[in-house]
Structure 1
C-alpha cells in the first residue's frame, strides 16, 4: 500500500496560517476612542466592557499567561454551565500586580474579552476552572505598541519605555492611583504567528491630572 506523503510543519503553516490569520484579523475587540496620540504612544478611552478573568499566582509572566489562557480556552470551548462555545476575541490581556505573593512572585489576571453576544450574560464557567467574570468600567489607558513575542525578558523594558514617554508628555502626572495593576500586556496575535506580531503595554491613566490641558478626540476604532 502506498503511503501518502506527509506535509512538513513549514508547508503546513504556509497552507493553514494565512486563513487562520484572516480570521484573527476579523475577530471582535473592545471599542475605544483615541483622545491623544504621539509617535510612540497613545491615550485611549475604552467603554465599559465585560471580561472573563483567570487569576494566577506565579513568578513568570509567560507561565502565568499560558496557565490562565489554557483555562479560558477550555471555557470558550464549552466548559461552562451552558455548554456554550464562544468565539475567540482579541486581545488576550494579562494584568500584573507586582509583589503580591511570596518569593517576589506576582499576581496575574489573564483576561478574555467577551463577544457582544455574551457581554450582558456571560455563561457561568465550570467551578474547577477557577474563573471569574470581570466588569471593566469605562477608563483611559496609555498604550505603547511593540512587536515580537511578549516575554519575561522584554515586558518590563516596554513598560518602562511607556513610563518614560508619559513623563515627557502632558499626561506625566496622570497615572491612575485607583488602578491595582502596575500595567497590563495585551497580545493580539496567534501563538503560531512568527512575523508581524502585535502586542501592547497598557497603563491606566486619569485625565483629572491634566490640569488645564485640553485634549480632543482625534480617531475612533
Structure 2
C-alpha cells in the first residue's frame, strides 16, 4: 500500500509540473553561440543532487533515479525538508556508452536557490550524491516528443554531426564525466509541446573568432 501511495505521489508531482513549468527554477545560463540545429550555453556554477543507477534501459534508469530523488525532495532527508520541483530532470550516460550498451547512468535534480549553499543530506538508503558543477559550456540540441531508448542515440549523433560542421568541431570537453545527457522538461502525461534536449560538454575553443559573445541570458 505504501508503494502505491508513493507511486501516486510521483504521478501527482509530475502532473503538477505541467501548468507551472515556466514558474519553477532552472539552472541559469547564457547563450553564447546559436545555429539552426544547436546552441552553445555557458552555464553558471550550481549544486545538484544525483542518483546513480545501473540499468540497460535509459527509460527505466530515469524512472528509478527520479523516484529516489522525488522521495528526497518530499522530505526523505536528515532535515525533513520539502524541496520545490525544478527543471530539467537530467539523465547522464557514462562515456563510451549508450542505452543499448550502458549500465551506468546518473539522474540529477537541480537544487533550488534556497538549498544551493547547503543541500539537505539525503537518507542513506536513497543512495544519492550531491555534486557541484563549475561554470562551463554545453552544446544543446532540442527535440520534441518523448525521450526514448529508441531515439536518444540518434539525437546525440545529430548533435555530433552539427558540431563537426561548425566552429565547435573538436571542442568536446575531455574533462567531462559523461558522454552526453538528456534533459527532460515535461511531465510524462504531457503529450503536446514537449521539450527535450541533448547536452554535451564542450570547451571554449569554439568561441575563437565568434562575434556573438552573448545572445541571451536565462
TM-score by length of 2: 0.88
**Corresponding residue for residue 187 of structure 1:** 184
Correspondences of 1:1-221 after superposition (within 5 Å): 21-98=18-95, 104-208=101-205, 211-221=208-218
**Aligned counterparts of 2:95 and 2:54: Cα–Cα separation in 1:** 10
Q: Distance in 1 between matches of 2:67 and 2:79?
A: 19
Which whole-Å CA distance do the structure 2 matches of 1:110 and 1:119 have between them?
Answer: 18
Name the SS of the counterpart of 1:177 in structure 2. coil
Shift of 1:216: 1.0
Larger Rg: 1
For residues 102-153 of structure 1, give each alpha carbon's deviation from its aligned partner in whole angstroms, at most 9, with x where no partner exists: x943310000000000000100000000001010111000000001110000
Distance in 2 (alpha carbons) for counterparts of 1:219 and 1:57: 37
Distance 1:116 1:147, change over 3 A: same
RMSD: 2.0
The answer to whether the Cα contact below 8 Å between 1:54 and 1:68 also exists between their aligned partners in 2 is yes
- Give structure 1 stretches of 5+ with no counterpart: 1-16
Q: Hey, what's the Cα distance between the residues in 2 that align with 1:185 and 1:66?
A: 13
Unaligned runs of 5+ in 2: 1-13
**Change beyond 3 A, Cα 1:215–1:25:** closer
Pick closer, same or farther for the CA change 1:47–1:117 going to 2, 3 Å: same
